[in-house]
Structure 1
Amino acid sequence: MRRGQLNLISIALLIIGLIIGGVIGYLLAPRPAPPEEGKLQALMQENEELRAKVNELLQKLKPGEIKVTVWTIGPDPPSEYRLKNFFIAADMLNSWLKMLGANVTIKVEGEFYVRPVEWGEYKNKFYLAYKAGEAPDIYLTGHEDIGFLAENGYIIPLDDYLEEYWDVIYYDIFPTLWDAVKYKGKIWAVPQDTEARPMYFRKDVLRALGWSEEEINELPKKIQSGEFTLYDLLKLAQEAKDAGLVERGVLHRVKEGYDYFQFYLGFGGKLWNPETGKMVFVKSAWEKTLKWFYDAVYEYNVISPNQFSGDWDKDFHLPFTQGKALFLSGGTWHKGEWIQKGLLTEDEFYDNIGYALHPAGEPSMKPVTLSHPLVYTITGLAKDRGVADVAFLLITLVTDPHINSYHSVQSAHLAILRSQVSDTRYMQDQFLHDVAYMLDYTTFIPNHPKWGDYSRIVYNILRAVETGDLGPEEAYNTLLDEIQSTLGDAVEILP
């Protein structure tokens, strides 16, 4: 199979073999360039052989419909193309099948979950549906779930499919994303998107504090160099609040998630050891992180003690987009959400909103961001139903750089393919271009079956620190005890 992208114009050159019962065995991409004259004869012979194979397979087809179900989640509404792209792919595939004379159609049915459904509820729905035999054929989830899903037989490995289709599109995916979907030597998913998590700030508030445009534009660079730290952030937020320019100094997510691990990373923390496959707990980093959160609430008074019990709109989106908060620890996708919801126009965003890495905890440390690639998996039920092959072909089609860019641009997620960076829609998006460098500073959430336990323990402790139920020292001791007693040797404890 020769290397080349799926070409929507030259679809007649795509050779699809389909055997009813749900098995699609062949998909060849159009050739990237005309062959050299000396190779023309061999190429023509190869194509004749492929046409003969297609004709042979078409003789075996009977009229029918193959249904593939897909579950996806935002939970932010702008990420709707995680599902919509499958309808686009099905239309493409059906047009090719019709062109080949096959009386078979592919029907996609699915769900796209948005808030108030959060990740925890979405995952529980899947587990219950799987046990009832009603789970989807394609399941979108976070890459950190792969270990658990694989260990419990919820999903199937994709190595054989990837080997067959590698030169169609998968060779073009950034290699680090493949590392995120590996578990015990196998590949269990196809990357769908990735992102960075910026520290947003209000330029207009800094102007009101007397900052020049040059100083404002230099802030991301000072963060990148380590000159501006997390405690500098607290001091600046306090200054803006004391001046009456904002009601809140710093906003972070209001529900359980992963964003707050960036502060631990900023203080020199590590999440996992790729050599041993174990998660990591760095004592000094957690001590400093817990003290920083306590100081943010009770010394600087710039984070609400009830932030983790807040509402996404009232305590996150609205205060920041209305200029009532200086800093917001968010994700690239929030820019897309603010625009789509009408909370900001494009001009208002670029005029008044800045974005940078999360600062280092101390000058000697490095700034950070965090990436959480979402991935498409194929379930064990899809294999039982005989549609796993069709499901993988659909995933292959939605991985096309042009189709995936519908999602990336609308939802402000980053490219997963090298060629996607040169897609016209993607190139025209200034924000995606501006934040691309952040991936040089990123860490992936660990792909470990017990990561959810680690994350949940941290969330509960951080929440107790902010509410004042635990002081920083007591919180640290409790965190260490719970991590050790719950996770045992699944976690490496470092000084």
Structure 2
Amino acid sequence: MTVSKFKGAFAALMLSAAAVPALAEDVNIVVWAGGSNDADAYRITAIELAADMLEREAAIEGRELNITVEGKRDFGGWEEFKQGVTLAAEAGTAPNIVVTSHLDIAPWSQAGYIVPTEDYLDFDAWPLNDIYPNLLEIAAYNGIQWGIPQDAESRPFFFWKDTMRGIGYSDADIAALPAKIEAGEYTLQNVLEDAKKAVEMGLVEEGYGFYPRPSNGPDYAQFYQSFGGVLQDPETGKLVLDKAAMEAFYQFFADAVDAGITRKNHLGTDWGQWYSEVANGKAATWHGGTWHYARYTGKEGNEDFFGTIEFGLIPAGNDNGRANTITHPLVYLVTDQQNDDHEDIAAQLVKIASEPRMNSLHAIQSAHLGISKQQSNIEIYSNDRWASEATERLLGTANAQPNNLDYGAFSEAMFKGLEAAWTGVKSPADAVAELESELTAKLGDNLIVK
């Protein structure tokens, strides 16, 4: 990685400080965090704590550094947040640090809104060298480390234990499911079979054998991967449409509807209704996010999560696919500023906020997963059963949607095709044919079709 510019500047300041009386430096750092609520407060609070640490380090070195941190997270939604960042950057008034989706790295780096963190930080040194490599890769684009993962999550497959017992599984069988899924011994075909049994035996209502999330999201790309689909070609960086994998993915959901285990009109279900139903046993199987744990055990009143729910990777769909999960980490990005010293300081604050103990505060309070290996040795993290088990089962092998300027169009078109096959408007084969036509027209040379 690039040698830190900040270290060089820091050294020069230290030498000058030894020769002349130190002058106070007052710095105002503005942090905007998208998609955040009270539970996610540490996305900003961690920067405030880091500022205190950096001030104390400077004082020991004989300098007076005064950092004021201003945070904002009360946006009307992701669209308002991203529009705000874009307009502020264009006007030259961007916040110093933004907490956002890793998918913003591609467009914002190309637009010149953000600067590479690798220009200021040593990623071969602590604490950055302890961050999971797959998460660092997600925060990079075109071989450049633009950001640092702020948190992590994953999107597992869930089973309601009582229903599984009702169709003949012993407690030992249920406990073995995560390992069997990882080994490819329990597949999406088994999901269809077990969900159908649950409906036929009256353990769940028709349409509740497999109860997917009710709107588009990164989760659905997991099922494409389950059947062997690849989102991005690693050599060229181009997006990939594997027609056979896409058709098998669409066929799985069409089969679930035909079997009466998923409702034909399921998409668009109210999220509040969905959360309540899956958290309290109305559905036999479903998929969701690791952060759902807080909702299930909090607002939805499930007081015995581990006694009622089992979880694992999304199962493989066929021999061409694999068990998998997608993580969609938010990232810390440092914006382009007129004052390069402020970029230096912002990067240092992000580094300190990424230390295992600091990041664990956010992870546990918000029911997210950590970003680094040593967090498993931090008591507040290791003593939390959900964080520990979800990290062990899911995070180390999680992949992500690609940082590609055209991925948004790819994802929207893929879901539109899924919806057509799901609702029976088109056959899976016809839906894929239309998808190919649309993506070829929109993406051109940035798409590989196979």
TM-score, normalization by structure 2: 0.89
SS in 1 for 2:31: strand
Match in the other structure for 2:198: 240
In the aligned structure 2, how far is the partner of 1:227 from the partner of 1:109? 51
Cα distance, 1:191 vs structure 2: 1.8
Which one of 218, 226, 234 corresponds to residue 266 of structure 1? 226
CA contact (8 A) 1:24 1:390 kept: no
Which one of 339, 345, 354 corresponds to residue 310 of structure 2? 354
SS in 1 for 2:115: coil
In the aligned structure 1, how far is the partner of 2:235 from the partner of 2:16? 46
Cα distance, 1:340 vs structure 2: 4.3
| 1:248-288 residue CA offsets vs partner (Å, 9 max, x unmatched) | 22233333321111111000111111111111111110011
Question: Structure 1 residues 198, 76: closer, same or farther in 2, change over 3 A?
Answer: farther
| 1:356-412 residue CA offsets vs partner (Å, 9 max, x unmatched) | 1111112564211112232111112x3458521221121011011100011222333
In the aligned structure 1, how far is the partner of 2:285 from the partner of 2:9? 52
Question: Structure 1 residues 364, 431: closer, same or farther in 2, change over 3 A?
Answer: same
Question: Structure 1 residues 123, 252: closer, same or farther in 2, change over 3 A?
Answer: farther
Cα distance, 1:176 vs structure 2: 2.8
Which one of 149, 155, 166 corresponds to residue 197 of structure 1? 155
Cα distance, 1:70 vs structure 2: 1.1
Question: Structure 1 residues 97, 189: closer, same or farther in 2, change over 3 A?
Answer: same
CA contact (8 A) 2:369 2:387 kept: yes
SS in 2 for 1:68: strand
Tell me which stretches of 4 or more aligned residues in structure 1 moved more than 6 Å. Answer: none
SS in 2 for 1:304: coil
Which residues of structure 2 form unaligned runs of 5+?
1-5
CA contact (8 A) 2:228 2:320 kept: no
Match in the other structure for 1:44: none
Question: Structure 1 residues 444, 80: closer, same or farther in 2, change over 3 A?
Answer: same
The AA in structure 1 aligned to 2:357 is H
Question: Structure 1 residues 343, 124: closer, same or farther in 2, change over 3 A?
Answer: farther
Q: Are 1:87 and 2:48 matched, yes or no? A: yes
CA contact (8 A) 2:134 2:398 kept: no
Q: Are 1:390 and 2:342 matched, yes or no? A: no
Match in the other structure for 2:3: none
Match in the other structure for 1:250: 210
| 1:11-47 residue CA offsets vs partner (Å, 9 max, x unmatched) | xxxxxxx9xxxx99439xxxxxxxxxxxxxxxxxxxx
SS in 2 for 1:150: helix
In the aligned structure 2, how far is the partner of 1:307 from the partner of 1:428? 37
Match in the other structure for 1:446: 402
Which one of 321, 324, 329 corresponds to residue 287 of structure 2? 329
In the aligned structure 1, how far is the partner of 2:444 from the partner of 2:153? 31
Question: Structure 1 residues 480, 77: closer, same or farther in 2, change over 3 A?
Answer: farther
Cα distance, 1:75 vs structure 2: 5.0
Which one of 264, 276, 281 corresponds to residue 305 of structure 1? 264
Aligned length: 443
Question: Structure 1 residues 181, 206: closer, same or farther in 2, change over 3 A?
Answer: same
In the aligned structure 2, how far is the partner of 1:419 from the partner of 1:324? 38
Question: Structure 1 residues 342, 283: closer, same or farther in 2, change over 3 A?
Answer: closer
Which one of 326, 346, 356 corresponds to residue 401 of structure 1? 356
SS in 2 for 1:309: coil
Question: Structure 1 residues 219, 103: closer, same or farther in 2, change over 3 A?
Answer: closer
Tell which deviates more after alignment, 430-439 or 322-331.
430-439
Q: Are 1:26 and 2:6 matched, yes or no? A: no
Cα distance, 1:134 vs structure 2: 4.2
Cα distance, 1:459 vs structure 2: 2.0
Question: Structure 1 residues 56, 451: closer, same or farther in 2, change over 3 A?
Answer: farther
CA contact (8 A) 1:24 1:393 kept: no
The AA in structure 1 aligned to 2:405 is P
Match in the other structure for 1:11: none
Q: Are 1:429 and 2:384 matched, yes or no? A: yes
Question: Structure 1 residues 365, 102: closer, same or farther in 2, change over 3 A?
Answer: closer
In the aligned structure 2, how far is the partner of 1:288 from the partner of 1:257? 19
Alignment of 1:284-295 (within 5 A): 284-295=244-255
Which residues of structure 1 form unaligned runs of 5+?
1-17, 28-48
| 1:407-432 residue CA offsets vs partner (Å, 9 max, x unmatched) | 22233333322322211122212223
In the aligned structure 2, how far is the partner of 1:471 from the partner of 1:121? 37
CA contact (8 A) 2:250 2:422 kept: no
Tell which deviates more after alignment, 417-426 or 462-471.
462-471
Give the greater-gyration-radius structure (CA).
1
Question: Structure 1 residues 26, 301: closer, same or farther in 2, change over 3 A?
Answer: farther
The AA in structure 2 aligned to 1:414 is L
In the aligned structure 2, how far is the partner of 1:324 from the partner of 1:202? 9
Question: Structure 1 residues 337, 264: closer, same or farther in 2, change over 3 A?
Answer: same
SS in 1 for 2:114: coil
Q: Are 1:414 and 2:369 matched, yes or no? A: yes
SS in 2 for 1:69: strand
In the aligned structure 2, how far is the partner of 1:113 from the partner of 1:278? 36
Cα distance, 1:94 vs structure 2: 4.0
CA contact (8 A) 1:266 1:361 kept: yes
CA contact (8 A) 1:227 1:363 kept: no
In the aligned structure 2, how far is the partner of 1:110 from the partner of 1:294? 46
SS in 2 for 1:325: coil
Which one of 323, 326, 330 corresponds to residue 367 of structure 1? 323
Structure with greater proportional strand content: 1
Match in the other structure for 2:436: 480
Cα distance, 1:92 vs structure 2: 3.1
Sequence identity, in percent?
35
CA contact (8 A) 1:89 1:397 kept: yes
Match in the other structure for 2:31: 70
In the aligned structure 2, how far is the partner of 1:351 from the partner of 1:109? 43
In the aligned structure 1, how far is the partner of 2:241 from the partner of 2:297? 38
CA contact (8 A) 2:154 2:290 kept: yes
CA contact (8 A) 1:226 1:364 kept: no
Which one of 438, 447, 450 corresponds to residue 491 of structure 1? 447
CA contact (8 A) 1:81 1:406 kept: yes
CA contact (8 A) 1:279 1:491 kept: yes
SS in 2 for 1:486: helix
The AA in structure 2 aligned to 1:352 is T
